[in-house]
Amino acid sequence: MPAMSVVTALIVFSALGAVICARARAAGPALFFGMVAVALLMATPLGEQLQGFVEDVVAEANRAAAEGGAR
C-alpha cells in the first residue's frame, strides 16, 4: 500500500474517532483524536499548502484591519 494511502487512512480513522468520542461526550479522547488528525494532515503536501493559504488569509486580514483602523 502506498504511503499516502496509509496516511489518508490514519487521518480518516482519527477524525472518525474524534467524532465518535465527541458524540459519546468523552472530551479528552475526542481532543486527542482531533489533534492526531490535524497533525497528520499538516504532515501531508495538502496540509503544507493549507498552512500557506491560512497564512495568506491572516496576513490579508491584518493588512485590511490596519488600513481600516487608520481612517
- The pLDDT, as a whole number, for residue 26 is 92
Question: What is the DSSP code (8-state) at residue 44?
Answer: S
- The pLDDT, as a whole number, for residue 2 is 63
pLDDT in tens, 14-52: 999 999 999 999 999 999 998 998 888 888 888 888 888
- 71 by Cβ neighbours in 10 Å (0-12 / 13-18 / 19+) ranks as exposed
Ordered by start, the domain boundaries in the chain are 3-69
Global pTM reads 0.61
